[in-house]
Amino acid sequence: MSLSFAVFFVVIRAGMKQKPVLYSVFDVAFRLIDHALNDNEYLQPQKLHRLLYLAQGYFGASYHGAMLMPALFVAEESGPIEPNLYVVMEETRPDVRLKAINDKTKHFIESIWRQFGHHSVDHLNASIRNHAPYQDAWRAGPGTVISFTEMVTFYTAVRKSATTPEADDVVRPRVMRSHKGKPVATTDWRPRRLK
């Protein structure tokens, strides 16, 4: 069994029942890099990988297990990385044409940046290394794929702490206008999932 087929099989077995919302990991990575540039910050590669990992986990927790991007994360000593992005961006930013994304997804990526972008790489590394999905994969050995299902379960159940916010606190309300022109904070309606 080839590695790519094995990884694909793991994703299917992990419970991914629908296609990811975005076409590639680059759709999120480059938008996070652009947010950093807009804030006059250089986004270090390790920090980018941690933000992508958090985006994947919190999106699944916020939207009933939906996958934000077709990306898998592996446990490395410093924290989780997306190996395909790591290899492609090792030297320079590749010339990739981004696909258009809907406003809800764009808002989610902005929320991830607002929630976690101000943290240092060391802070993100220390926080994520204490999260159960990463720890389980790390115990199995370096390079082990972190289960998407475990990520969703963990970030859905997490209770706010000094280093880990609840899923509802990550996605900030959008401001829209009422029929009278007044600003109103809105969030997506997310009915609970019946089993």
Mean pLDDT of 151-159: 90
pLDDT tens-digit map of 29-40: 999 999 999 999
Mean pLDDT, the chain, whole residue set: 82
Where does residue 83 rank: exposed (0-12), middle (13-18), buried (19+ CB within 10 A)? middle
pLDDT of the residue at 171? 76
pLDDT tens-digit map of 54-64: 999 999 998 88
pLDDT of the residue at 6? 37
pLDDT tens-digit map of 108-150: 999 999 999 999 999 999 999 999 999 999 999 999 999 999 9
Mean pLDDT of 51-73: 94
pLDDT of the residue at 2? 38
Mean pLDDT of 3-14: 41
pLDDT of the residue at 117? 92
